[in-house]
Amino acid sequence: MKFTKMALTFLCCVMFFCGCAKDSDIVLKINDKSITRAEFNDDFNRIKNAQLKNAPKELQKDDSYAVIALKDRFVNDVIVRSLLEQEFEKRKIEASEKEIKDKKAQIVAQFGSQEQFNNVLKENQISEQRLNSDLANEVKVAKLIESLGAKEATNAEVEKYYKQNKDQFFVPERVRASHILFDTNPESLRRKITEADKEAKLSSAEIDKKVKEEIARKEKLAQEVRQKALKNPKSFAELARQYSEDPGSAQNGGDLGFVTRTQVVKEFGDAAFGQKVGSISPVVKSQFGEHIILVVDKAKATTQSLATVKNDLKTYLTEQKKVQALQNLINGLKQNAKIEYVDLSLSPDNIKKQLEEALPKQLDFQKKQGAPKSKMKILDKTKNDKK
């Protein structure tokens, strides 16, 4: 069982709103705090653009089911953040510059580098000022949770959870594999050829012909590269960096790490799990193309012992208690709050009505699109992780 650290600030991960709105165009009032339309729209549009930027244009329209559902969640988040802000003021909870700086350093370390972190900020349109505001609120939330007195999980609770959920600690048979991928997927190749034909000079028949030629070329190349790997297995990583078209593993010498059968497509799994350690497979064809697979290591199925997972499990259960304590506080604050939907379109009843009206169009769109086409990566290493 793999535990991931639960974000105790899951309800406060984006900026809090200012309290005193001078703008007369108010959309929400939470106790004595007002949210202006400009504040609301700026943040909602930022989140919408980040989450739906790769969605079909039909789903990005303001009256689409996806946008309305996103707005429904956002309105609730706005209310929760405002209530928590008021609770900070009531309890005199503050964040120092050092605490904000330390929090930022922790996050940068998780991303691996300042450059990668900056890229994420840019992609999500988060300014330095907004970032510092968000981090300050994360620090405050952590202090608020601490003040709620949630206790650490006991050894007895850890043992009980382990015994009652033993199946979560089962680790299936795995292999550590590397591969070299040649993209021979007809749809992928057709798209690349079409995009390269900027002046649209090629007819449909000519594109089909080029696709077939490209498939044949890559199938031949795959066989040639396999022969090179067989002659010198130690060159496999370099061959992967040179030839592989899998962006997720090529620069790592084709290394996919340890994978289970359910984390890879069937053809890949059948080949990899049927090979001996150190062996190189024949060319294996899957929906992604032609694979040359090197099996580096194997691990038998096992169940992790309590001793192995005890520390992670105690952390997980303790954080669950903290999250529940925060949620209980939020539920109480919402029950006792005076919430006014000045813009009636944001009220729960109206949003529910909007969702009901948008649903037929959404179902019709899905029907026209047909079953969603696979966008699987060569592997999805999170597929079987237990939370």
Tell me the three-class secondary structure of 127-181, residue by residue.
CHHHHHHHHHHHHHHHHHHHHCCCCCCCHHHHHHHHHHCHHHHEECCEEEEEEEE
Domains of the chain in start order, with CATH, are: 26-92+148-154+306-369 (no CATH), 173-300 (3.10.50.40)
Among 40, 135, 137, which Cα is nearest to 342's?
A: 40
**Encoding tokens for residue 10?**
């899951």
**So what's the pLDDT on residue 315?**
96
Element (H, E) at 27: strand 26-30
Closest CA to 188 of 159, 209, 215: 215
Distance from C-alpha of 313 to C-alpha of 5, rounded to nearest angstrom: 10
Rounded Cα distance, 100 and 135, in Å: 6
pLDDT at residue number 376: 39
pLDDT values of the chain reduced to their tens digit, one per residue, 387 residues? 545 444 444 344 444 444 444 445 999 999 989 999 999 999 999 899 888 988 888 899 999 999 999 999 999 999 999 999 999 999 999 999 999 999 999 999 988 889 888 888 888 778 888 899 889 999 999 999 999 999 999 999 999 999 999 999 999 999 999 999 999 999 999 999 999 988 889 999 999 999 999 999 999 999 999 999 999 999 999 999 999 999 989 999 999 999 999 999 999 999 999 999 999 999 999 999 999 999 999 999 999 999 999 999 999 999 999 999 999 999 999 999 999 999 999 999 999 999 999 999 999 888 877 644 433 355 544 444 443
The confidence score (pLDDT) of residue 381 equals 43
Predicted local confidence at residue 384, as pLDDT: 44
- Rounded to 5 degrees, what are φ and ψ at 94? -130, 165
DSSP H or E run through 303: strand 302-303
Indicate the helix (H) or strand (E) that contains 302. Answer: strand 302-303
Q: How far lies 124's CA from each of 110, 121, 175, in Å?
A: 17, 5, 36
- Give the span between the Cα atoms of 268 and 274, in whole angstroms: 10
Residue 379, pLDDT score: 55
Q: What is the pLDDT of residue 275?
A: 96
Q: Where are the alpha helices (DSSP H) in the chain?
A: 37-52, 57-60, 65-91, 97-111, 114-123, 128-147, 155-164, 186-196, 204-231, 236-243, 266-274, 306-336, 348-369
Task: Please give the pLDDT value at position 3.
Answer: 52
Closest CA to 181 of 274, 281, 270: 281
pTM, two decimal places: 0.67
